[in-house]
Structure 1
Amino acid sequence: MQGFSGILRNSDGTFDALSDNGYGNKANSADFVLRIHRIAPDFGTGQVDVLGGINLTDPNGFVPFPLTRADRVLTGSDFDIESIVRVADGSYWIGDEFGPYLLHADRAGRLLRAPIPLPGVRAPENPAGSPNLGRSKGFEGMALQPDGRMLFPLLEGTVAGDPAGTLRLYEFDLAAGAYTGQRWSYQLDAANHAIGDAISVDGDRLLIIERDGAQGDAAQVKKIYLVDKRDRDRDGVLDKALVADLLDLANPRRLGGFGTTFRFPFETIEDVVILDDRTLGVLNDNNFPFSSGRAAGRPDNNEFITIRLSNPLHADERVLRR
């Protein structure tokens, strides 16, 4: 199964996991159907069952440009989906990198409206032309405000003309169906890093995965930061504090047959979910069959790990119940 680029926790212990565009670009992903999988991990045995899922489709013809398939089932040549939230009515909002666009789909995966473009920003894959964002650098992360009113989509790449290594976090009003004009800047530790996911902790704080592009023994930066939109030090970028170093996790019981230090050394780590106030779930995108971070020369599995934090997040109760 192609790797996971977004995850949602369900009330019954299962998770909805989003697979991205397939095999890395438009040209080689026309035969990959965009899909939300339903998975059920058993944290006691370490097994994960795949229960099913839904395909993303556009039966009502909302997408204004030609699709790959005549039946209007969406493929990896149509969109590169990387982030997902679920709102109160059960519908999904999905962040795409080819536009970048926001996609709104019902519980069965059917689009409910035309893709919503980001004003003033275009990726190279956008048919409107004049790109000012790198390829596959669109909405890699997207957080939902705990009260359900706003989305906060985060670009993976720097918009042309912005300071090197800064990423734009936007605010989108769900009731209005439009961007509010409010935005923030996230500063990467290094300009060649990328983000992997962004989720809400409360109305002001988010968890953001930051990573380098290396894998295996060469991997040096795979981190989860707690980020604050209030910018208390007034430096013009989001405040950030380290929550977990995914290359240096204590494993005193040697779980999984690993040593007392556990590494999550994958090129693309794109999923974080809050399980309780001191426990996170983290998943990789295995880029099947191209990544080999766990064992050189062997295609990576998708892995689902849980991390016990040293300190509670003090997350919004609505986030913990979601």
Structure 2
Amino acid sequence: MGIMKRVGMGAAVAALAITVPGVAFATDRSTWDRAELLKFAALPAETFVPGSEPSGSLLGGTPSNGVVPPFADQPVQGFSGVLRNSDGSFDVLSDNGFGNKGNSADFLLRIQRVGPNFDSGTVDVLGGITLTDPDGKVPFALTRPDRVLTGADFDVESISRTADGTYWIGDEFGPWLLHFDRAGRLLAPPVALPGVFAPENPTRGETPANLNSSKGFEGMAQSPDGRTLYPLLEGTVAGDAPGTLRLHEFDIAANAYTGRRWTYLLDAPGNAIGDAIAVDKDRFLIIERDNGEGATAKVKKIYLADRRDRNRDGQLDKTLVADLMDIANPKRVGGFGKTFTFPFQTIEDVVILDDRTIAVLNDNNFPFSNGRVPGQPDDNEFIVLKLDHDLDADKRVLRRY
């Protein structure tokens, strides 16, 4: 494969195949017709875990979008990954809390279980699990002596679940891969990505960071056979061509990277990815976005990316399957007009429901983002889209959970 590179495990930073200055950025290789909005539901921004611990004490008490911290409980917010359950509910991953390591020490990392009710347009919070390290697998100091994990310990952004019910979670502070049991207990030490270090990584010592903050594993696909993970970095590693992102291969049984990787090329260097999930052994759905929200939101797209590189340009081939700023809504679902937009800064969740239907959720960055209504904190919105074509997905992906 022209886009695959074998990377030495001891190398600090390996060069990608595409390193020519001034490289052209990706454009739509082909485009499907508009996706259609089928269903809409929303979880109010100010939703909290009942009877949980206080949070937001490090936000300084400054109001944001009319919301004044601190909070009496833990907010149910910031969805950065989603998994479908067999009973119609979904597991969603709340990210590191309030945006960075410094202000999220009282935010408890958690997998929430939610159930959308599309008849009423609401989302029920059904429960969830808090992530912990009771057996001391993390080799560096944690924020809390009880080893409950917080947003100052890890920035969890992507999630996958294997057939045994355990969770693999991608982090941005390492970046690391984290393996949890079904109760949220860390099973093994964090697995580092060889040669790549974020500024927040406490194990790098004097090694310079070569990945920007909050640019680690934003997406993570699982192969249809369940044996392999494909974590995708959100940011470009120093020394790589601007706008190129590394897609790595991780062998679950070996608990190690295989050394194979591919390149995803952003449409523009200022864009970022929001999620990556598998369609089959070669293709992935990848959310790509700009940093705008509301009136400034322009690029919110879902691509079908193919690692076979049929045009031999050294990148995953990209087909635009859904423009989230231009969704057909002929039935005026949710009370919106005939064109529906998803104008959020961070859109970080996509899941396949059937071969032609996907669900998409936003990360509302509570209480900071206000992409839907200026001056009001964004809800966690849950939308179902009908695509223009069948995905022709691997049947194992369609049957998963």
Q: TM bucket by the smaller chain?
A: over 0.9
Query: SS in structure 2 opposite 1:303?
Result: strand
3-state SS of paired residue (2:360): strand
Greater RCO structure (CA 8 Å; 6+ sep):
2
Output the CA distance in 2 between the equivalents of 1:124 and 1:7. Answer: 27
Match of 2:175 in 1: 100
Match of 2:189 among 108, 114, 121: 114
Instruction: Pick the aligned partner of 1:167 from 228, 245, 266.
Output: 245
Aligned letter for 1:73? V
In 1, the alpha carbon distance for the partners of 2:179 and 2:366 equals 26
**Matching residue of 2:294:** 216
Q: More deviation in 93-102 or 1-10?
A: 1-10
Matched, 1:231 2:288: no
Provide the C-alpha distance between the structure 2 equivalents of 1:137 and 1:264, rounded to a whole number of angstroms: 22
Distance between the aligned counterparts of 1:78 and 1:173, measured in 2? 25
**Mapped partners of 2:386, 2:119: distance in 1:** 15
Partner SS, residue 143 of structure 1: strand
Q: CA offsets, 1:232-281, max 9 Å, x none? A: 11100100000000000000111111110000000000000001111110
User: Could you tell me which residue of structure 2 aligns to residue 19 of structure 1?
Assistant: 94
The aligned residue for residue 43 of structure 1 is: 118
**Which whole-Å CA distance do the structure 1 matches of 2:180 and 2:151 have between them?**
16
Task: Give the corresponding residue for 1:64.
Answer: 139
Tell me if 1:307 matches 2:385.
yes
TM-score computed with the length of structure 1 as normaliser:
0.99
SS of corresponding position for 1:104: strand
1: CA distance, partners of 2:185 / 2:96: 17
**What is the CA distance between 1:214 and its match in structure 2?**
0.4
User: What is the DSSP-based 3-state SS (H/G/I as helix, E as strand, rest coil) of the residue aligned with 2:165?
Assistant: coil
How big is each residue's C-alpha offset from its partner over 1:184-236, in whole Å with a ceiling of 9 and x where there is no partner?
A: 00000000000000000000100000000000011000000000010011100
Q: Map of 1:72-87 to 2, 5 A cutoff?
A: 72-87=147-162
Find the counterpart in structure 2 of residue 153 from structure 1. 231
Q: Is 1:10 aligned to 2:85, yes or no?
A: yes
* 1:240 correspondence with 2:318: yes
Distance 1:184 1:42 in 2: 39
Within a 5 Å distance, the mapping from 1:182-197 to structure 2 comes to 182-197=260-275
Residue of 166, 170, 179 corresponding to 1:91: 166
> For the aligned residues, what is the CA RMSD?
0.6
Structure 1 unaligned blocks of 5 or more:
none
Percent identity between matched residues is: 73
**In 1, distance between residues paired with 2:256 and 2:246?**
16
Q: Deviations over 1:51-102 (max 9, x none)?
A: 0000000000000000001110000000000000000110000000000000
Partner residue in 1 for 2:360: 282
Offset at 1:46? 1.6
Residues paired across the two proteins, number: 322
Matched residues in 2 for 1:319 and 1:265: separation? 29
Q: In the alignment, what sits opposite 2:198?
A: 123
The one of 181, 187, 197 aligned to 2:259: 181
Larger radius of gyration: 2
